[in-house]
Amino acid sequence: MNKLDKPLESWREELSEEQFHVCRLGGTERAFSGEYHDSKVPGIYHCACCQTELFDSDAKFDSGSGWPSYFQPVSNEAITSLDDFNHGMHRIEVKCAKCEAHLGHVFPDGPAPTGLRYCINSASLKLVAKTDG
């Protein structure tokens, strides 16, 4: 069970097929295919599963990787990180701290001020655009 005590089948019913594959099964969308990989819309990116605030567009940058990339989350409490040894390599997986949705990975090759690149699947995000006024 995840932190929201919701069975996997409930997630399957609530999410799109791609969201379920990425968020609940730890999959990855194809590079340059996600809705937000090149988005410049100002706002807050929320978890697609539980609507927790995860990333601010002010921390978004074009990494050239084909996935939305951020140099920091909205807070250290918004995400959790764990070792991932899949695919014959060591990476750091990033999950939503509230519902444990798989978001993507973090790498130490990002810009200042953190030097980090949170490489996140668009399918795991929902942008809430900032409104004027």
User: pTM for this one?
Assistant: 0.92
Is the CATH number of domain 8-129 2.170.150.20? yes
- List, in order, residues 6 or more apart from 76 with CB less than 8 Å away: none
**pLDDT given for residue 90 in this prediction:** 87
Q: List strand residue ranges (DSSP E) for the chain, in order.
A: 43-47, 53-56, 60-61, 69-70, 79-84, 91-96, 102-107, 117-120, 125-129
User: Domain boundaries in the chain?
Assistant: 8-129
119 is catalytic: yes
How remote is the C-alpha of 94 from its chain's centroid?
Answer: 7
State how far the Cα of 100 lies from the Cα of 123, in Å rounded to an integer. 14
Q: Choose, from 54, 119, 120, 127, the residue flagged as catalytic.
A: 119
Specify binding-site residues for Zn(2+). Answer: 47, 50, 96, 99
What would the pLDDT profile of 19-71 be if each residue is shown by its tens digit? 999 999 999 999 999 999 999 999 999 999 999 999 999 999 999 999 999 99
Phi, psi (degrees; rounded to nearest 5) at 46: -105, 160
